[in-house]
């Protein structure tokens, strides 16, 4: 079976569903994490509120200024330029041409059984009208140079994305980034707006998410319940509600989403608010499901996966202090919430609770 977990931000799925994911992978089932709001949408400097809302508080990052740019530090001895005017460590054009010929010959030998071959430019230039691979978006747990460099330079969303990729590698799951801008980059200012009602012009990215789900062809889709009322979580919940309301397509045929869409409880919001029943959600939060759709609770016993869940959450170092005050406090909160949830379901040890949609 294949499972898709919709994460509003990097870390949300690890926090809320890390135990179930570990259990599914132990059973050999496929897991994909679809992280929706993983982009900044802007390279302009962050405001104080944006820094705090993203989880970096007022901590100082290593300043990215000319004073710390090694290219502005003069050499002890001026380097002598080569015949082409390039510094001595740069290859001359004739050397590059010779290397390019060797690369082409190697490519031809490798693809000799085909009627065509791939040609790579060692100068990192596009050939024959084709785009560079560096310019093509990718997916999966790949720590690309571009992402790593951006994270090292202090780009906060890039750092969180790197943490998400490391978690996916740890959890043996695939990860897909939609890179839509976080709410704090879409004009939401202050907690009243961030935890309030989404603006009328800020629509849920239903088409984008629906397209990825159709491509991945999962048997089950897990969507945040929106506990805590963060606008990005609400918008992802709306996508889940819309999926359940879709009529079944008889081309191929399409899936019946009622029964295959499952809502998960957002941790640590559920822990902070003492969430234990659906009535605690804002009025009308689930009205779009329709009168013929029921939500029934299911409990995932994660007693044997609890410590693995904790280790996975700890990979999100950027969020530890803001959310919990440290790793030890995080581990205590995860264990306590797991025990309370297990007790609600009549289980021992630790559990996560999910709400499965069913058609009456």
Averages of pLDDT over runs of 10 residues in the chain (360 residues) are: 94 97 94 90 57 48 40 59 68 77 71 52 63 52 57 68 92 91 88 92 93 89 96 96 79 72 96 94 91 94 96 94 93 97 96 94
Topology of domain 2-58+136-359, CATH:
Rossmann fold (3.40.50)
- Other CB atoms within 10 A of residue 237 CB: 24
Q: Is residue 28 left, alpha or beta, with left meaning phi > 0 and alpha meaning psi from -120 to 50?
A: left
β-sheet bridge partners, residue 301: 351
Tell me the C-alpha to C-alpha distance, in Å, between residue 311 and each of 109, 116, 132, 314. 46, 47, 37, 5
Closest CA to 8 of 255, 281, 269, 340: 269
pLDDT of the residue at 124: 66
Contact 318, 151 (CB under 8 A): no
Query: What was the pLDDT predicted at 290?
Result: 85
Domain boundaries, the chain: 2-58+136-359, 62-122
Q: What is the pLDDT of residue 301?
A: 97
Task: Indicate the angle between helix axes 306-313 and 12-26, nearest 10 degrees.
Answer: 140
What is the side-by-side order of every strand in the sheet holding 30-35?
A: 174-177, 30-35, 2-7, 220-224, 261-264, 351-359, 293-301
Strand partners, 50: none
Beta 2-7 vs 220-224: how paired, if at all?
parallel
d(CA 300, CA 302): 6
């Amino acid at each position: 079976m294949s499972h898709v977990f919709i994460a509003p931000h990097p870390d949300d799925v690890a926090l809320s569903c890390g135990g179930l994911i570990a259990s599914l992978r132990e059973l050999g089932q496929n897991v994909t994490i679809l992280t929706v709001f993983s982009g900044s949408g802007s390279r302009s400097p962050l405001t104080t509120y944006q820094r705090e809302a993203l989880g970096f508080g007022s901590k100082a990052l290593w300043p990215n200024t000319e004073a710390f740019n090694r290219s502005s530090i003069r050499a002890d001895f001026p380097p002598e330029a080569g015949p082409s005017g390039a510094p001595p460590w740069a290859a001359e054009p004739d050397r590059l041409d010779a290397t390019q010929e060797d690369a082409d010959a190697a490519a031809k030998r490798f693809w000799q059984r085909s009627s065509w071959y791939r040609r790579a430019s060692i100068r990192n230039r596009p050939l024959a009208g084709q785009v560079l691979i560096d310019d093509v978006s990718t997916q999966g747990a790949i720590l690309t140079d571009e992402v790593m460099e951006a994270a090292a330079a202090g780009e906060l969303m890039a750092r969180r994305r790197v943490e998400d990729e490391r978690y996916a590698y740890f959890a043996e799951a695939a990860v897909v980034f939609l890179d839509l801008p976080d709410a704090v980059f879409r004009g939401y200012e202050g907690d009243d707006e961030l935890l309030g009602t989404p603006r009328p012009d800020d629509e849920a990215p239903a088409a984008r998410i629906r397209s990825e789900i159709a491509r991945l062809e999962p048997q089950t889709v897990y969507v945040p319940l929106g506990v805590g009322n963060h606008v990005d979580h609400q918008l992802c919940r709306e996508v889940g509600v819309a999926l359940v309301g879709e009529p079944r397509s008889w081309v191929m045929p399409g899936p019946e989403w009622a029964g295959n869409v499952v809502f998960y409880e957002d941790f640590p919001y559920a822990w902070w608010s003492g969430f234990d029943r659906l009535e605690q959600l804002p009025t009308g939060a689930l009205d779009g499901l329709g009168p013929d759709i029921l939500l029934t609770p299911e409990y995932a016993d994660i007693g044997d996966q609890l410590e693995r869940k904790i280790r996975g959450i700890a990979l999100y170092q950027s969020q530890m202090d803001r959310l919990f005050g440290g790793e030890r406090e995080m581990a205590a909160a995860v264990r306590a919430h797991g025990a309370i949830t297990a007790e609600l379901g009549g289980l021992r040890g630790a559990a996560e609770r999910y709400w499965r949609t069913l058609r009456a």
